[in-house]
Amino acid sequence: MKFSALPALAVFSCLASSINAAQDEAAQLSQLLGEAANDILGQLREEEGALAKRGVEASCTVRNIAIRREFGSMAPEDRKAYTDAVQCLQRKSNLTPNSLVPGARTRFDDFVAVHQNQTPYIHFSGTFLGWHRYFIWHYEQALRNECGYKGYQPYWDWSKWAAAPQDSPMFDGSPYSMGGNGEFIPHDPLVLLPPVEGANPPIVIDAGLGGGCVQSGPFSNMSVNLGPIGLTNTPPGPDGGLGYNPRCLKRDVGPFCLQKYNNYTRIWNLMTQRHNIRDFQLDLEGPPGTGDLGPHGGGHFAIGGDPGGDLFTSPGDPAFYLHHGQVDRLWTLWQALDPATRRNALDGTNTMLNDPPSANTTLEDFINLGYAAGQPIQMKNVMSTVTGPFCYIYL
Ligand SMILES: *[C@@H]1O[C@H](CO)[C@@H](O)[C@H](O)[C@H]1NC(C)=O
Ligand SMILES: *[C@@H]1O[C@H](CO)[C@@H](O)[C@H](O)[C@H]1NC(C)=O
Ligand SMILES: *[C@@H]1O[C@H](CO)[C@@H](O)[C@H](O)[C@H]1NC(C)=O
Ligand SMILES: [Cu+2]
């Protein structure tokens, strides 16, 4: 009698300790990242003081710095203000000429189009982190300057919601969410083929809990105009994916990817055990050919669907910008943990996986967002979130 109760107890205590472990990991990570953020503010204060001694006024200070927050930690009305502004961008006309991108219809599409066009140069390349930093910053600027948004770009803390992202504030489908999951349509796992045919095992991603059109919340009405280009098992849209191809927003949100690639352990290791930019980027994007998607790929495929599951067209899902907010947050705070060696550290070439072969990206190289926004900018001016055009921090 006594013994039959033992296994159950053992299971229970094992579960309890893994829950405690997860809470400890969350607390430890949040402490580490909090300290990194404080270091950035401390540095700003010092620089402001040094400038003041020379009679110069600092432009980015602890008093005017923009604070980007986790979507789930924002007040409901602030979340709604954000999605209202995104919908405003989706009503304004595109600036991208239709002679270049025939399918662009809105200002929102301008951002999608430039990402489509530049995908082979801004992923698994030296510009990956800097380009996406500049990209989401200009998106935030467009929301503020063209659509009257008063807040800042939110981010998505993957690990926090890894057990059930579909029920999280981001995807629960309430009026204060980023829109719900896609309608549940039973479907097979997604099989991503390896870059080199036959060289590596394919990556199998368990089916999520959606698959169909988003039916609740802010983006249930949205028209996805561009793409797809690189959606697995789906041929490209008209004009190679740059043509007009209006359809609903589909998502396949579920816990599989986040639990596997974006849990607290993974992010803790990324932040504490990757000591140079090469290792940091590889871990974040997943070392090619290993079957590991990394937290960057994990977040993308935790959203999945169309266009979320398409490397080229993924910014066509408004959740993209919150996912890349978290990528930028982790880069920012990783840099702050050792600014002397990390502030200007770059690794990679100017083409995806150096194919075709290209030069190493340098701090002098320019990136640009085409018709979406802004001027070309040198990599050296996007390496810090408190200099150049930027003045923001993540809490
Ligand atoms: C969807 O569009 C209709 C018609 O434009 C509008 O009345 C409705 O409020 C929209 N719903 C959402 C969730 O945006
Ligand atoms: C957490 O992520 C790591 C690394 O991606 C993985 O090896 C591990 O299995 C994950 N933990 C759980 C509980 O899924
Ligand atoms: C590019 O960077 C790699 C890694 O740092 C280095 O081994 C290689 O020599 C560099 N190539 C050129 C052409 O500088
Ligand atoms: Cu991208």
Provide the pLDDT for residue 166.
98
Quote the ligand 1 centre to 180 CA distance (angstroms): 14
Would the CB of 87 count as within 6 Å of ligand 1? no
Q: How confident is the model at residue 9 (pLDDT cuts 50, 70, 90)?
A: very low
List the CATH code of the domain at 24-50+58-394. Answer: 1.10.1280.10
53-78 burial string, b = 16+ CB within 10 Å, else e? eeeeebebbeeebbebbbbbebeeeb
Highest mean pLDDT among 18-32, 64-78, 282-296: 64-78
The per-residue pLDDT of the chain, averaged, comes to 93
Three-state DSSP class for 169? Answer: coil
Work out the percent of the chain whose per-residue pLDDT is above 90.
87
Three-state DSSP class for 74? Answer: coil
In whole angstroms, what is the distance from residue 119 CA to residue 125 CA? 10
Can you tell me the mean pLDDT for 242-266?
97
Provide the pLDDT for residue 3.
39
Q: How confident is the model at residue 14 (pLDDT cuts 50, 70, 90)?
A: very low
Name the residue at shortest CA distance from atom 13 of ligand 2.
Answer: 259
Q: pLDDT digits over 103-141, tens only?
A: 999 999 999 999 999 999 999 999 999 999 999 999 999
Structure-block tokens of residue 123: 């992923």
Structure-block tokens of residue 15: 């579960």
* Of 233-237, 313-317, 346-350, 383-387, the least confident: 233-237
CA 291 to chain centre: 20
Provide the pLDDT for residue 195.
61
pLDDT of 61 over the 80 cut: yes
Burial zone of 358 (CB within 10 Å; 0-12 exposed, 13-18 middle, 19+ buried): middle
Q: pLDDT digits over 225-236, tens only?
A: 999 999 988 999
Cis peptide before 356 (omega within 30 of 0): yes
In whole angstroms, what is the distance from residue 159 CA to residue 165 CA? 9
Provide the pLDDT for residue 6.
39
Name the residue at shortest CA distance from atom 4 of ligand 1.
Answer: 221
Q: How confident is the model at residue 12 (pLDDT cuts 50, 70, 90)?
A: very low
Q: pLDDT digits over 131-169, tens only?
A: 999 999 999 999 999 999 999 999 999 999 999 999 999
Q: How confident is the model at residue 1 (pLDDT cuts 50, 70, 90)?
A: very low
In whole angstroms, what is the distance from residue 264 CA to residue 34 CA? 15
Provide the pLDDT for residue 198.
59
Structure-block tokens of residue 207: 């089916």
Residue 264 Cα: closest atom of ligand 2: 1
In whole angstroms, what is the distance from residue 94 CA to residue 319 CA? 20
Q: How confident is the model at residue 17 (pLDDT cuts 50, 70, 90)?
A: low
Name the residue at shortest CA distance from atom 6 of ligand 2.
Answer: 260
Residue 221 Cα: closest atom of ligand 1: 1
Burial zone of 16 (CB within 10 Å; 0-12 exposed, 13-18 middle, 19+ buried): exposed
pLDDT of 25 over the 70 cut: yes
Distances (CA, A) of 33 to 134, 204, 268, 333, 393: 22, 32, 10, 6, 11
Ligand in nearest proximity to the CA of 123:
4
Work out the percent of the chain whose per-residue pLDDT is above 70.
93
Pocket test for ligand 1, best of 91, 176, 215, 221 (most atoms within 8 A of CB): 221
pTM (two decimals): 0.93
Name the residue at shortest CA distance from atom 12 of ligand 1.
Answer: 218
Can you tell me the mean pLDDT for 174-178?
98
Provide the pLDDT for residue 2.
36
| Boundaries of every domain in the chain | 24-50+58-394
pLDDT of 193 over the 80 cut: no
Residue 269 Cα: closest atom of ligand 2: 4
| Strand-strand pairing, 66-68 and 182-184 | unpaired
Q: What is the DSSP string of 296-309?
A: HHHHHHHH-SBBTT
Give 279 or 20, the one with higher predicted confidence: 279
Q: pLDDT digits over 269-287, tens only?
A: 999 999 999 999 999 999 9
Provide the pLDDT for residue 322.
98
Would the CB of 220 count as within 6 Å of ligand 1? yes
Sequence-distant (6+) residues with CB within 8 A of 115 are 122, 135, 312, 313, 314, 315
- For the CA atoms of 387, 374, 225, 284, what is the dihedral angle to 10 degrees? -30
Provide the pLDDT for residue 197.
57
Residue with tokens 């299971």: 11
Provide the pLDDT for residue 62.
96
Q: How confident is the model at residue 8 (pLDDT cuts 50, 70, 90)?
A: very low
Rg of the chain's alpha carbons, rounded to an integer?
Answer: 21
Can you tell me the mean pLDDT for 68-73?
98
Can you tell me the mean pLDDT for 327-337?
98
Structure-block tokens of residue 251: 């998502």
Three-state DSSP class for 367? Answer: strand
